[in-house]
Structures are given as structure tokens and as C-alpha cells.
């Protein structure tokens, strides 16, 4: 995964989300933003999920980084490990979230086991 440090998510939504969708990469189980606790020039610095590593090569990413700079958005890309899978229970959420914050997804395909009274 590739990431940026900045506080404006609109650039990411505009430039990177369509690329992930085009490539069939699904990152909806991951939260796009996590706080770093750092401050630079009175602005909070955030880690923002840009895209899957397979979506763009470093050569394809560079012009987008330059476009961001022209818009006043500083992107410092890096590769970060994140969970490939969505979390379907709180235990998985805690484990997968150690790498990068994830969203809990209820598994709608699983059914509750039958009650004894149904036998």
C-alpha cells in the first residue's frame, strides 16, 4: 500500500479511488485516514491510504505527487503493510487493526446456528 502525509482527503478521493476501482482493488475494509500525532506548521499530519501497491508503479505515481504539490498538498509516499482481509468480528478487528485501522464488517452471509428448539 502507498500512503501520504497531509490533511486533505479530497485529492486522494479524486485521483486515487478511481484508479483502485479501475484495477478492481477493494480497500473498503480499511479506514483511509489514521492520525500520526505529529504537527508541522500548525497542521496535524495524517497518514492517508492512497492506493494498493499494484494499482500504480512508482513511475506512474510521481506525476500525481507533482500535481498534488501544485495544489498545495504534500505527499510523501511509502509502502505500508495492511490487512488484505476485512474483519468480521471484534477479535479480527483488533488483530488486523494492529497494522492499519480497519472497519468491522458484519458477515451477512453467515446465518445463526439453529436453536435446540428447532430440532
- Which candidate, 34, 3, 21, 27, places its Cα nearest to that of 83? 27
CA–CA separation, 100 and 79 (whole Å): 12
pTM for the full predicted model: 0.65
Place of cell 501520504: 4
pLDDT of 46 above 60: yes
Neighbour count for residue 26 (Cβ, 10 Å): 12
Contact 5, 73 (CB under 8 A): no
- pLDDT (tens digit, 9 = 90+) per residue, 74-103? 888 888 888 888 888 889 999 999 988 888
CA–CA separation, 77 and 1 (whole Å): 9
Amino acid at each position: 500500500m502507498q500512503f501520504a502525509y497531509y490533511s486533505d482527503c479530497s485529492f486522494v478521493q479524486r485521483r486515487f479511488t478511481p484508479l483502485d476501482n479501475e484495477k478492481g482493488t477493494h480497500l473498503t475494509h480499511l479506514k483511509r485516514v489514521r492520525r500520526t500525532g505529529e504537527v508541522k506548521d500548525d497542521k496535524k499530519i495524517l497518514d492517508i491510504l492512497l492506493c494498493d501497491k499494484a494499482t500504480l508503479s512508482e513511475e506512474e505515481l510521481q506525476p500525481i505527487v507533482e500535481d498534488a504539490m501544485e495544489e498545495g498538498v504534500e505527499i510523501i509516499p511509502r509502502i505500508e503493510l495492511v490487512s488484505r482481509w476485512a474483519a468480521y468480528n471484534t477479535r479480527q478487528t483488533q488483530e488486523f487493526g494492529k497494522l492499519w485501522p480497519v472497519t468491522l464488517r458484519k458477515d451477512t452471509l453467515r446465518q445463526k446456528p439453529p436453536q435446540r428448539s428447532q430440532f
